[in-house]
């Protein structure tokens, strides 16, 4: 036993700790929860930021996250409750000590929504609302600057010790992306907002350590909203088929608050893994 510990101690000491922290667990209605936003932390440092809805900027600070540590920002879609506080983060970046460009990945556009490049231009481009900060889009910028990537088709990105797969999912007329992030030997998947009416999310979530999904609609009713979101039973089916180890239910909208017990009973009949409920600032260690 002693020999075992001596042999493997260096490896144990080197093993990294990956965790997922919720910044916002709510929806667009406001209230006591921030809108959707999440961090992936490695050894306590926030290296991935996913979405940045209302209230997330304050939560980012409360989570002791630093702009200097971020490797990439992932945006699932351009609904206000997923992106509205990005300009505040950019301004904070301007005041940070960050030297290298910040990678940001977001969806393509269509006739109803701008693509991610255009969205950033509408804010920080020469004719943008915040054109006084247009410097952040120039590669020569010596201070804080961005590198914007638009997901025109399903693809993957290799970052330092991290592999990210971006897949388009159905969210009505809204171009939307789900992400699979592989760091060391851990896999974290974000469904974003989706009706998940294709196999794409099931494939993307295969054997994930944790799937972060929305709990935005009740099992019954809200026919229109079903074109945008997964019902609890649909989320459970995908999690079971993909052999997901943990399912985190977030994006908890007013119309589902109070239905947790009922939905958990229903989902546990379909999905045999662990079901967790998101609260702002909870941190989940990925074992």
Which residues contact Zn ion by CB under 5 A? 81, 193
User: To the nearest whole angstrom, how small is the minimum distance from the Cβ of residue 36 to Zn ion?
Assistant: 6
Structure tokens at 3: 């020999």
Question: Closer to Zn ion at the Cβ: 145 or 191?
Answer: 191
Under 8 Å between Cβ of 198 and 154:
no
CB of 223 to Zn ion, least distance (A): 18
Nearer Cβ to Zn ion (81/209): 81
CA angle 127/131/133 to nearest 5° reads 155
Decide: 60 and 35 in contact? Cβ < 8 Å. no
**CB of residue 98 vs Zn ion: minimum separation in angstroms?**
28
Strand, coil or helix: 269:
coil
3-class DSSP assignment, residue 107: strand
Could you tell me the two tokens for 124?
């920080």
- Burial zone of 59 (CB within 10 Å; 0-12 exposed, 13-18 middle, 19+ buried): buried
Asked if residues 22 and 281 have their Cβ atoms less than 8 Å apart, the reply is yes
Residue number with CB closer to Zn ion (76 or 145): 76
Nearer to Zn ion, 51 or 209 (CB): 51
> Least distance to Zn ion from the beta carbon of 227, Å?
14
Alpha helices, H only, 104-205: 116-124, 200-204
Smallest gap from residue 84 Cβ to Zn ion (A): 11
Neighbours of 163 (CB within 10 A): 13
- Shortest distance, position 59 Cβ to Zn ion, whole Å: 16
85 vs 209 by CB, closer to Zn ion: 85
Q: Are residues 52 and 168 in contact, defined by beta-carbon separation less than 8 angstroms? A: no
Q: 188 phi and psi, to 5 degrees? A: -125, 130
Whole-number Å distance between alpha carbons of 141 and 146: 9
State the minimum distance, in angstroms, from the CB of residue 76 to Zn ion: 8
- Closest residue to Zn ion, Cβ-based? 193
**Minimum CB distance to Zn ion smaller for 93 or for 232:** 232
Quick one: 85 or 193, whose CB is closer to Zn ion?
193
CB 258 within 8 A of CB 218: no
């Amino acid at each position: 036993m002693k020999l075992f510990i001596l042999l493997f101690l260096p490896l144990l000491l080197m093993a990294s700790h990956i965790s997922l922290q919720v910044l916002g667990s709510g929806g667009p209605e406001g209230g006591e929860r921030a809108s959707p936003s999440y961090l992936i932390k490695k050894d306590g440092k926030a290296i991935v930021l996913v979405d940045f809805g209302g209230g997330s900027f304050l939560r980012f600070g409360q989570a002791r996250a630093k702009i200097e540590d971020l490797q990439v920002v992932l945006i699932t879609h351009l609904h206000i409750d997923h992106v509205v506080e990005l300009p505040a983060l950019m301004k904070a970046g301007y005041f940070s000590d960050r030297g290298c460009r910040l990678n940001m990945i977001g969806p393509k556009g269509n006739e109803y929504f701008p693509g991610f490049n255009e969205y950033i231009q509408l804010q920080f481009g020469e004719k943008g609302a915040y054109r006084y900060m247009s410097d952040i889009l120039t590669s020569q910028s010596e201070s804080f600057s961005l590198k914007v990537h638009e997901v025109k088709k399903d693809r993957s990105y290799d970052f330092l010790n991290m592999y990210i797969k971006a897949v388009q999912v159905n969210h009505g007329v809204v171009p939307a992306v789900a992400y699979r992030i592989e760091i060391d030997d851990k896999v974290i998947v974000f469904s974003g907002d989706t009706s998940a009416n294709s196999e794409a999310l099931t494939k993307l979530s295969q054997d994930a350590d944790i799937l972060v999904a929305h709990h935005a609609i009740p099992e019954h009713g809200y026919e229109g909203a079903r074109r945008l979101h997964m019902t609890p039973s649909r989320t459970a089916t995908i999690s079971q088929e993909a052999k997901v180890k943990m399912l985190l239910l977030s994006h908890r909208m007013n119309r589902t608050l109070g239905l947790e017990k009922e939905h958990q009973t229903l989902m546990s009949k379909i999905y045999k893994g662990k079901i967790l409920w998101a609260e702002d600032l909870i941190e989940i260690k990925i074992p």
